Amino acid sequence: MDYIIREIYKEEYDLLNDFLYEAIYIPNGVEPPPKSIINCPELQEYVFDFGKRKDDKALVAEIQGNVVGAIWVRIMNDYGHIDNDTPSLAMSVFPKYRGQGIGTALLQQLLLERV
């Protein structure tokens, strides 16, 4: 399947909520939480007012005009906070498109652009 990796458009920032939900680890056999879980303040830290912080950066994977994956970074006080110079990373691909190298391509492109 052909896809492109590109920067997210400002009008697509709301899509990060969908990808935030998809990034939640759910073990096999466990019922997924309701989508409203992403409204918790500790999860909203990943997406709230995205694009307004100087270090916010996001890339998406697009197939035939549809965004199917996203990777984004921002400096925030989250679970894995290191310091105020090291961004945290979030990434997910919609289930239908997993296992096709899209996540790897997103990560590789982000690393190329951040170095």
Could you read off the pLDDT tens digit of each residue along the chain, which spans 115 residues? 799 999 999 999 999 999 999 999 999 999 999 999 999 999 999 999 999 999 999 999 999 999 999 999 999 988 788 888 889 999 999 999 999 999 999 999 999 997 5
Cα first-last separation, the chain: 28
Pair of tokens at residue 106: 């997103």
Q: Are the CB atoms for 51 and 44 separated by under 8 Å?
A: no
CA distances from 114 to 39, 43, 55 (A): 29, 24, 10
Would you call 59 exposed, middle or buried from its count of C-beta atoms within 10 A (0-12, 13-18, 19+)? Answer: buried
Whole-angstrom Cα distance, residue 74 to residue 89?
A: 7
The pTM score is 0.92
